[in-house]
């Protein structure tokens, strides 16, 4: 148990014993002691003044006395107005270091048979285009969140729902049939998802030309958009697909196969994976069944044009269409079917959807509809809503071909990594193969860290060059620090310096050494908070604070040349523990760290 939890529990006990009041532990506000005051942990006393009916200073002193008498780790305390500063004993901090040093899973809680099962959905691509920059943030957030939830003792199923049907898919199919001339990935040398995406862009180009021609012929803009030959052709394809027309199904299957092969390459390069993939082409039928059941039971209603709707005005929302007049499904219908299937496939305790914040309303409605249909899990769905990622030049549009392709971005990042590393001389003496592997590790570390260090709820601006800086709050800075630690430990081994990982201190620990141990002690707390708040950013920024502190320590305190054997051993064990914590923490973000740089 962390010292914060021990103190929190004892403060609850202190309030009961001293003032005969039972309080919830959430009332206990603990924070790190400010640097200008002596202490490690500070209690904000003001919430307890009304219970003690005494001054803040006197209340703080009474609680301090209780803690000093009942918590062996509390060595002494001081009071500054309404704040109680607690000094934790060196023996406790040494025990933390020993635990971090000896435990290969320090900070990580392993799942058990009785652990909660959490399903995390992320990626959710369409099969009419390749993955782009927005998908990268989605995949990285979903994968990292899954790893963090596992590190908090949950069983996790990583899942993907592929949007492989609908009018947007038919647009690519129609364009290939009209203007493709039989092209394939093999005949063109173009990656399958890119080839299909090219036809999606081609559809939009031809569609706009047709609209312009119809408007010139006297049609209104609305009629032109509805009656353009390309749009009519795509709609006809969708109806034939739902009717299982053999020719359309074969074309759909072939083009989707091209896309899946392309996706697999991108996912592997990005370092994300899935335990189960669902396809909307299969789940939408289950959704239609549920909607029709809801209609029969009076949960939903039908309009004169045969479309099916949900009336959500009682919930403060509006009317929501669930089936179009021609009987085709909408996204909501598909999500109802997918949810039903998932909860039949797995004993899920919690379902988390990693989807951008433009879909907040959608998931609010989905939760209500599932609840109305009688599914117990409806109210428990969690929408992990995140902000959009943009480039300096603004937003991206898939149909206009102005997106930043995921494959192109990763290739660009690797090239930037190579140039930056060569300019700084980071990889001198590496073989070409070693250098190429390290360039890739640095590039993907830079990309992932830059994406994940930002609060997920916020929109973000992505700048490739800024992300590969070897200084500041970046992935390469953290990777380089890890490599620096590994270099120190290799040199220690070369000098036959053996580490004693059971530390026993007879002399005073320097404040800088103590500060590093304190930050190491916060790792389990950071992992827990990242899980509770669904925020990989909390884990990322913890790692940066640890690395920043270590680099100051590294420049100020010699390790290998320190003559005092006990002090040298302490510093090397601290360095090793920092390295292990960096590696574990970066793994939660899906980031590898190099042994040499």
Q: Which two tokens stand for residue 533?
A: 């708040």
| The predicted structure's pLDDT at residue 422 | 81
How many secondary structure helices (H) and strands (E) does the chain include?
Answer: 22, 14
Residue corresponding to tokens 């289950």 = 286
Q: Which of 70, 74, 82, 81 is nearest to 41 (CA)?
A: 74
- Let me know: does 386 contact 137? Beta carbons within 8 Å: yes
Strand order in the sheet with 41-44: 30-32, 41-44, 83-88, 74-80
Residue corresponding to tokens 């690395």 = 547
Which pLDDT band holds residue 393 (cuts at 50, 70, 90)? low
Reported as a single tens digit per residue, the pLDDT across 248-281 is 999 999 999 999 999 999 999 999 999 999 999 9
- Let me know: does 534 contact 16? Beta carbons within 8 Å: no
Q: Between helices 90-102 and 511-521, what is the axis angle to 10°? A: 60
| The predicted structure's pLDDT at residue 404 | 81
Q: Which two tokens stand for residue 70?
A: 């009942």
| The predicted structure's pLDDT at residue 397 | 46
* Residues forming beta bridges with residue 157, ordered by sequence position: 119
Q: Which two tokens stand for residue 247?
A: 């020719």
Reported as a single tens digit per residue, the pLDDT across 425-468 is 777 778 888 889 999 999 999 999 999 999 999 999 888 778 88
| Mean pLDDT, rounded, for 318-325 | 94
- Let me know: does 60 contact 83? Beta carbons within 8 Å: yes
Query: Is a pLDDT exceeding 90 seen at residue 35?
Result: no
Query: Is a pLDDT exceeding 90 seen at residue 368?
Result: yes
Centre a 10 Å sphere on the Cβ of residue 343 and count the other Cβ atoms it contains. Answer: 17
Which helix (H) or strand (E) segment holds residue 120: the answer is: strand 117-121
| Mean pLDDT, rounded, for 404-419 | 88
What pTM did the predictor assign? 0.90
Query: Is a pLDDT exceeding 70 seen at residue 402?
Result: no
Which pLDDT band holds residue 479 (cuts at 50, 70, 90)? very high
- Let me know: does 542 contact 585? Beta carbons within 8 Å: yes
Query: Is a pLDDT exceeding 60 seen at residue 405?
Result: yes
Reported as a single tens digit per residue, the pLDDT across 551-573 is 999 999 999 999 999 999 999 99
Whole-angstrom distance, CA of residue 136 vs CA of residue 373: 34
Instruction: Walk me through the domains of the chain, giving residue ranges and CATH numbers.
Output: 3-88 (3.30.1360.70), 122-390 (3.40.50.620), 412-588 (1.10.730.10)
């Amino acid at each position: 148990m962390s010292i914060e939890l021990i103190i929190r529990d004892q403060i609850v006990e202190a309030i009961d014993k001293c003032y005969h009041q039972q309080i919830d532990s959430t009332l206990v506000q603990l924070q790190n002691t400010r640097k200008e005051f002596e202490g490690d942990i500070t209690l904000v006393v003001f919430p307890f003044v009304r219970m003690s009916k005494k001054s803040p200073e006197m209340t703080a002193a009474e609680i301090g006395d209780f803690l000093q008498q009942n918590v062996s780790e509390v060595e002494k305390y001081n009071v500054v107005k309404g704040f109680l500063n607690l000094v934790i004993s060196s023996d406790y901090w040494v025990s933390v270091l020993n635990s971090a040093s000896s435990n290969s899973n320090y900070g990580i809680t392993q799942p058990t048979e009785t652990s909660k099962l959490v399903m995390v959905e992320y990626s959710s691509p369409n099969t009419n285009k390749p993955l782009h920059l927005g998908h990268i943030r989605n995949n990285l957030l979903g994968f990292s969140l899954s790893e963090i939830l596992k590190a908090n003792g949950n069983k996790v199923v990583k899942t993907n729902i592929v949007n492989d049907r609908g009018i947007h898919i038919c647009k690519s199919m129609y364009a290939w049939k009209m203007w493709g001339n039989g092209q394939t990935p093999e005949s063109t040398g173009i990656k399958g998802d890119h080839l299909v995406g090219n036809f999606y862009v081609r559809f939009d180009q031809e569609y706009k030309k047709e609209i312009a021609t119809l408007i010139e012929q006297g049609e209104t803009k609305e009629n032109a958009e509805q009656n353009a030959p390309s749009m009519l052709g795509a709609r006809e394809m969708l109806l034939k697909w739902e009717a299982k027309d053999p020719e359309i199904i074969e074309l759909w299957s072939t083009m989707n196969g091209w896309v899946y092969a392309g996706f697999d390459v991108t996912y592997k390069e990005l370092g994300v994976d899935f335990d189960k993939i669902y396809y909307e082409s299969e789940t939408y039928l289950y959704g239609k069944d549920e909607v029709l059941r809801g209609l029969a039971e009076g949960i939903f209603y039908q309009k004169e044009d045969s479309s099916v709707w949900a009336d959500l005005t009682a919930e403060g929302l509006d009317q929501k269409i669930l089936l179009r007049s021609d009987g085709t499904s909408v996204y909501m219908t598909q999500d109802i079917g997918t949810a039903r299937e998932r909860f039949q496939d797995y004993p899920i305790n919690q379902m988390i959807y990693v989807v951008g914040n433009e879909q907040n309303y959608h998931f609010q409605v989905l939760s209500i509809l599932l609840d109305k249909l009688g599914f117990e899990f409806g109210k428990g769905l969690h929408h992990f809503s995140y902000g959009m990622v943009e480039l300096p030049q603004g937003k991206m549009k898939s149909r206009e071909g102005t997106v930043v392709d995921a494959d192109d971005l990763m290739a660009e990042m690797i090239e930037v990594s190579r140039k930056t590393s060569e300019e700084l001389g980071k990889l001198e003496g590496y073989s070409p193969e070693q250098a190429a592997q390290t360039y890739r590790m640095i590039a993907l570390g830079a990309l992932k860290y830059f994406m994940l260090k930002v609060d997920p709820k916020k929109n973000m601006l992505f700048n490739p060059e800024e992300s590969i800086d070897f200084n500041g709050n970046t992935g390469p800075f953290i990777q380089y620090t890890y490599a620096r630690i590994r270099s120190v430990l290799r040199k220690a081994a070369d000098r036959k310096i053996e580490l004693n990982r059971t530390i026993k201190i007879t002399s005073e620990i320097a404040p800088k050494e103590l500060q590093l141990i304190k930050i190491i002690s916060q790792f389990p707390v950071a992992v827990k908070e990242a899980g509770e708040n669904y925020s990989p950013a909390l884990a990322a920024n913890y790692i940066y604070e640890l690395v920043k502190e270590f680099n100051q320590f590294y420049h100020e305190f010699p390790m290998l040349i320190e003559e005092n054997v006990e002090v040298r051993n302490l510093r090397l064990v601290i360095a090793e523990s920092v390295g292990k914590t960096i590696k574990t923490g970066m793994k939660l973000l899906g980031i590898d760290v190099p042994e040499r740089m």
